[in-house]
Amino acid sequence: MSKSGLPLIGVVACNQQLGLHPFNIVGEKYLLSVVNGAKGFPIILPSLGRDFPTADILARLDGILFTGSPSNVEPHHYQGPASAEGTHHDPKRDATTLPLIKAAIDAGIPILGICRGFQEMNVVFGGSLHQKLHEVGHYIEHREDKTASLDVQYGLSHKISIVSGGLLHDAWGCDTAEVNSVHTQGVDRLGQGLQPEAYAPDGLIEAFSVANAKNFALGVQWHPEWKVQDNAFYTSIFNAFGQACRLYAAQQER
């Protein structure tokens, strides 16, 4: 924890080529959700792959947010078929986040996975992904209208049913909520040791927790970081995450 008492929360960056150079970038909405939702201070974690000093970094953090991204986990990580031509991948992020998720959970560090981060968590636990939900046949449309404004794209799209007794239900206190829907991929086979926390109307798993985690470990398919202060449900998620980070920090001697 910082001297100000703010928990230090790592926010995973994407490795992207911008012009002639590779950059590590994080959407500002994720940084602001840590500040305004979790009441912590964000530390950007670059996706360096094998050069990422996992143990040293974990010793300095009170929580980690695994962000969404335009990129998808490379399917060889879950023995899936090759992606369609033109699919955006980020192998350096895969090489960073997949080991980091496991290490953070083993260390008891609170984590929150959003969209790609949720999918990464499923893959880490041996799960698989539908690469194109809209082609499976029995799912509702989960993709956003990319021609619409951001407020429409990230606007409320469908209800979810929340499992009683889980992390999400404890945070929100209700059996249902409304969420946005900005994703093409989704859970096919749920990873071992993951506990469903919420379902879409079509039965798609929209949230899960790590059943035997030492601390808060939640993944959500939607984007609660979007204008987190304007949505009581989204705020409740980040409040619970931030509280777990503060409790973890208070237990550490640094």
Total Cβ atoms within 10 A of residue 218 = 26
Q: Is 223 a residue of the active site?
A: yes
DSSP SS3 for 31: helix
Contact 154, 226 (CB under 8 A): yes
Strand pairing class (111-114; 217-220) = parallel
Given 74, 115, 144, 245, which residue is catalytic?
115
DSSP element (H, E) containing 40: none
What would the two tokens of residue 87 be?
A: 């699919």
Annotated active-site residue 183? The verdict is: no
How far CA 130 is from CA of 80, 134, 204, 220, in Å, comes to: 9, 9, 11, 16
Residues linked to residue 162 through DSSP beta bridges, in sequence order: 198
Say if CB 64 and CB 97 are below 8 A apart: no
Q: Answer yes or no: are the C-beta atoms of 117 and 237 closer than 8 Å.
A: no
Tell me the C-alpha distance between 210 and 219, whole Å: 9
**Residue whose pair of structure tokens reads 């000093």 in the numeric block:** 53
Q: Which candidate in 74, 144, 197, 225 is catalytic?
A: 225
Catalytic hit among 183, 206, 223, 245: 223
Burial class (CB in 10 A: 0-12, 13-18, 19+), 97: buried
- H-helix or E-strand spanning residue 176: strand 176-179
Q: Does the annotation count 174 as an active-site position? A: no
C-alpha 247, offset from chain centre: 20
Active centre residues (catalytic):
115, 223, 225
